[in-house]
Structure 1
């Protein structure tokens, strides 16, 4: 367990750049005063922003990066510039042990490509997965993965995702035995692709010996109900489900805004409903759930949404700090070892 996490911040990524990233770091520090930061970016720009946050400067080391990754850069282009960009140097800090984790609001494809190349996947993991916490009606958020890193997955990949997602749920949400489900077009055992059905059987066979409870299949309209703690999918389906959920939230909020402004009576209704609507807005605010993590790498990389504000960045930093404190990598490695020890050797790939 890490007592005082040191986190590398890609200061130049995201819509708000260094101003938002450092404001987020300052907010995170106010909530967890033991945090330390390695701020990576243009030292002139970073220095100007640090002058606005005197308390943050004492907890920071600045590492100059002469270049940055733009949102339009292709992953192949980003990889070639890894040694000069703020994103690449932040990832390198994790690889070299100068930081326990890195947080970036930059280009997702570039971040994944550079992270995978620099850090490699953990033993027993074929592919890393992008995982995030989704708001739900349950007592805690729901872990969902993969959200876009892998468009095609076989049964072994899905089982590995399930193990990693359950470990993340235990570390981030303190759930002792997470309920895990596979995203499918129906809950019946006969539905779905052959790979989904094979993954389901593998998880049923192993569930009794692992710190998770496999509960079968779940449909997309049940993800937010809070009935399960971890939802596992290939990246293609998972990304569609995520974007659909985000679009639905925006649709509902825009519809409410239009309805409440349609007449005098509606405006009066808005005033009466304002406390309840505030709670709804807080619960659905993406900044309050910001911070997707690449699971399965030899290092912690957290992706903050590009449009996140300082509160969103602070939450992404909190995700990185939480999994470092709870030693997520060790948990995943332990669960993989247990799975291999109790399952047929051909049931899961081992590298």
Structure 2
């Protein structure tokens, strides 16, 4: 399997991008094609033992920076690492593309060069969200701030495919974010989407309030990109705040320091469970190709696991499965 990696993606590129991809090549038995500036990437590659690994580099003279306007950069920077990598995916030269660069840039480039899967109204950004019962798959988290009921229905369909095939969740439970658990609660979008989900054939379990997300009420939770992005960013902020409070409390006296030392193994387990690096990357669902995105602050562990996610998505035939269920959904709706 060939996976193209945006070597210019992370905030600290190319060090973590290269190190993580080399690690993935060795651990997950994949062929890695780096895409980026040759004069920057080659010296970093020279620091690693590449014996026995199938690793190559395709030169791309430009980079879509974090602060650039995504759509404008996607059109103007035709030799950027994202565009070159996405073109390789479109032509079938690689099986997947992984980038932890400008997320808006990845979305814009994917739409411009890959296009949407036939029948998909809008692609969705997703996030793996830790819960009391494991994880849930939340989408959209930023691609579409304004949505229509059909968009959310398709998010649920695509999310269910990914949850079942890649995350290994049989018959995943689906819910929609709302301000009340009862049917009929929520804004107009939620109220109009609810009956579509109920009649979809998915394992729809109803509305999910904010507290239900972390409680593990559902395996796939859909919402518009504005709400989803707020949920994710708020959760990240709260988690950081709580860890800071715990740290301050532990360091406040000799007695609490001793207690903290004794509890350190438990704290490390919790930290690992909440660590985004363990998931590495998440898919951009709805575009016609396997695209995995990650945090700009990703380190080598996150990069390695993002490549693992790409490999799993390809091996499980995620794109073909989404293509099939979307076609079936459209056929069923047109027959009514």
TM score, norm. by length of structure 1: 0.92
Task: Give me the whole-angstrom Cα distance separating, in 2, the residues matched to 1:46 and 1:292.
Answer: 24
| Equivalent of residue 196 in structure 1, options 190, 211, 223 | 190
Q: Which residue of 1 aligns with 2:99?
A: 104
Q: What SS does structure 1 have at the residue aligned with 2:23? A: helix
Equivalence map 1:59-74=2 (5 Å): 59-74=54-69
Task: Give me the whole-angstrom Cα distance separating, in 2, the residues matched to 1:43 and 1:55.
Answer: 17
Q: What SS does structure 1 have at the residue aligned with 2:63? A: coil
Task: Give me the whole-angstrom Cα distance separating, in 2, the residues matched to 1:57 and 1:258.
Answer: 47
Q: CA deviation at 1:290?
A: 2.6
Structure 1 stretches of at least 4 aligned residues deviating more than 6 Å after TM superposition: none
| Equivalent of residue 292 in structure 2, options 291, 302, 306 | 302
Task: Give me the whole-angstrom Cα distance separating, in 2, the residues matched to 1:281 and 1:154.
Answer: 37
Please list the CA deviations of residues 125-181 of structure 1 after superposition, one character each: whole Å capped at 9, or x if unmatched.
11100012111221x421110000000111100000000000010121112211000
Q: Which residue of 2 aligns with 1:26?
A: 22
Q: Which residue of 1 aligns with 2:302?
A: 312
Q: What SS does structure 2 have at the residue aligned with 1:54? A: coil
Contact 1:25 1:56 survives alignment (8 Å): no
Q: Which residue of 2 aligns with 1:154?
A: 148
Structure 1 range deviating more: 178-187 or 37-46:
37-46
Structure 1 range deviating more: 24-33 or 48-57:
48-57
Task: Give me the whole-angstrom Cα distance separating, in 2, the residues matched to 1:240 and 1:56.
Answer: 45
Q: Which residue of 2 aligns with 1:15?
A: 11
Q: CA deviation at 1:344?
A: 4.7
Work out whether 1:332 is the aligned partner of 2:322.
yes
Task: Give me the whole-angstrom Cα distance separating, in 1, the residues matched to 2:8 and 2:220.
Answer: 32
Aligned length: 336
TM score, norm. by length of structure 2: 0.96
Equivalence map 1:108-187=2 (5 Å): 108-138=103-133, 140-187=134-181
User: What is the root-mean-square deviation in Å for CA atoms of aligned residues?
Assistant: 1.5
| Equivalent of residue 226 in structure 1, options 208, 216, 241 | 216
Q: What SS does structure 2 have at the residue aligned with 1:324? A: helix
Contact 2:208 2:217 survives alignment (8 Å): no
Contact 1:147 1:236 survives alignment (8 Å): yes
Q: What SS does structure 1 have at the residue aligned with 2:199? A: helix
Unaligned runs of at least 5 residues, structure 1: 347-351
Task: Give me the whole-angstrom Cα distance separating, in 2, the residues matched to 1:81 and 1:344.
Answer: 39
Please list the CA deviations of residues 21-62 of structure 1 after superposition, one character each: whole Å capped at 9, or x if unmatched.
0111122123212x0111101112221111122227831121
Contact 1:187 1:216 survives alignment (8 Å): yes
Contact 1:75 1:110 survives alignment (8 Å): yes
Q: What SS does structure 2 have at the residue aligned with 1:17? A: coil
Q: Which residue of 2 aligns with 1:255?
A: 245
Task: Give me the whole-angstrom Cα distance separating, in 2, the residues matched to 1:57 and 1:65.
Answer: 25
